[in-house]
Every structure is written in structure tokens, then in C-alpha cells.
Amino acid sequence: MTQHLLAIDDVAEDFEAILKWAIEFKRQWKQGDDVAQNFLPLDMLAIGSIYEKPSTRTRVSFEVGIQRLGGSALTLLKNDIQLGTSETIGDTSQVLSRFLGGITYRCFGHEDVEELAKHASVPVINALSYKHHPCQAAADLMTVLEHYDDLEGLKVAWVGDGNNVLHDLMLACAILGIDIHYACPEGYEPHDDVVERTKALAEANGSSVTHTTDPVEAVSGAQVVYTDVFISMGEEHMTDKIKSFEGYQVNEEMVGHMAKNWSFMHCLPAHRGEEVTDWVMDHKNSIVFDQAENRMWAQMSLMAFLINPGAWDAMGEFMGLVD
């Protein structure tokens, strides 16, 4: 049965292994290891990437990652194909499955990527929908693992909107047994069903999930503090929304409440001066550009895992990751 990635808990059982694979593959590839640099699990395959929304990190990270894995990246912009206009999403999915080895889809409605996956006979990866952003969460937790050897007692705090990035961050932390505290203004909380899924995972993995409307409470003692833009793409008309986030800016004063070994994270693009100050963004403890780079490495592990699992397993064994 074809496995898809629509939310990060779709790979909950293998999530830690996927991240460790990405970290070790990145290390070996950058050191010039001949096996890593000639690992081509997508050889002779075209991977289609559909974009309803413009993108910098998602498009570049997928295109470069696909090429490094030996595949051909086929970028399909919204107006390039008839998806959901003169042809149903289901029909388009079945047609694309005849040509492609995998499909990534950056869309607005989460129901659209669900429909695409429902009819696809090749793996579908959600490259962002209004509800979930699993590739970002994979990059986020890969970055956390690179910077923190011991996850026991680690506290991750979110300050901002209860959006798609928070949804998969919550789920990812719970999968790995990391405590997640999130501060969102009233009316901007994450979706109830995602919170319930997160709590179930946290209970199973021995971690906690804590909600507050007080950002200082959320970040107090936290090693990792994360924010995102307060007004997301497609919400530009919501001019009054910004007022609800007064006091939520991550700045030097807020940093004073964090742990001494704090790190700052942001999925980018950042609106400097709104949700975060230059002082925090440019601080030596800011790991936002590690996150941005890790989008590619995490997605390379995910693509190999989903599209050519035998090759992913073999590379993992070569890298010494098999118990």
C-alpha cells in the first residue's frame, strides 16, 4: 500500500529514524563521502511538485534535494495544469501517478492534498496546507536534535498564531517525547483535533502539552523558542489581526525568561520588527538558517523513505543506523 505524508504523525513510528538518517546523511554528504554523494534512490524518476502558493525554501529545497538523489524535479505551478478547474483533483492525481515517482503539493485547502493522496498510486507529500506542514516539522526537529544531545527535560515553546506550523511542531515534539508549551491569543488556538492527537502522543511518549495565553509563561525556562509571522499568506486582508498579538514579539526582554542555553527558531520568512526583533534573529543563538537548510536534508530522507524504502534502509545500514 502506498504511504503518504499529509501530517507528521503519518510517520510517527519511523519519525526518529527518519531524522537520524537525515542528520547522518547530511554529515557524510558534506564530508564528501563517495557512497553518500552517489546515493541515487530517485534515479530515472521524475518527482512532480505542485505549487498553488509561491515559495522560496520549499521549492528550492525540493528541487535541489530531488536532483541530489538522482531524480528529475518537475515543478508545476498553479496555472500550468488543470488541477481542480477543468479536471478533478482525483483525475489529475491518477494521471500524474502514471508518469511520476512521487508528488509534492503546496496548497491552500488540506482537503485538496487529502483528495490528491486518495487517488494517487505514488507517494504524496504535503509541502504545506492550511492545516499541516509536516516537512517543516521534520526540519525543525532535525535541527533540535543537532543542537541538543539530550532530549530529557527539554522544553520547546511556541509564541504566536495557532497555525499549520504549530500543528506539526506539536505533533513532532509529542512523538519524540519533548515537552511543548504554546502561547496563543484567545481565538487563535490550534485546531482541537490536532491538540487531541498531540495529547495522545505525548501521553504515550511521556511528555506534556501546555497551553497558555501568556507568552512569558510559555517561554520561561525554555531551551527552544519558536515563532512565525502573525499574519500568514492569504490573510493580508485581516488588518486587525495584528492587534491580538501585542506582547507576543520575541525580543531581548522575552529572551531574559528563557533558559541560558536558549535557541531561537522561525520557519521563515520573518517579518522583522513584528513577531521578532533583529537582535534575536541575528543572535548567535538563532538557528533559523540551520532550519532552512535542513528542509532539504529532512525532505531527502522523507522522499527516500517513502519512494524507495529499500534504498533508504540500505543507506541507513551503511551509515550504521540499524540496531
Which residues are CB-contacts of 111 (< 8 A; sequence separation ≥ 6)?
Answer: none
Give the three-class secondary structure for 198.
helix
Q: How far is CA 172 from CA 68, 182, 215, in A?
A: 26, 14, 21
Annotation marks residue 197 as catalytic: no
Q: Give the sheet arrangement for strand 209-212, strand by strand.
A: 209-212, 179-183, 155-159, 224-227, 263-266
Of 28, 107, 228, 266, which one is the catalytic site residue? 228
Catalytic residue among 107, 249, 295, 299: 295
Q: Are 77 and 55 in contact (CB under 8 A)?
A: no
Catalytic residue among 4, 57, 59, 133: 133
Say whether 98 is catalytic.
no
Q: Catalytic pick from 4, 57, 59, 106?
A: 106
Q: Is 133 a catalytic residue?
A: yes
* Distance of alpha carbon 201 from alpha carbon 319, whole angstroms: 29
The residues facing 5 across adjacent strands are 125
C-alpha cell at 203: 501521553
| Catalytic residue list contains 228 | yes
Q: Which of 132, 249, 267, 299 is catalytic?
A: 267
Q: Terminus-to-terminus CA distance in the chain, angstroms?
A: 26
The cell for 232 is: 500568514
Residue 136 bears catalytic tag: yes
Active site residues: 106, 133, 136, 228, 267, 295
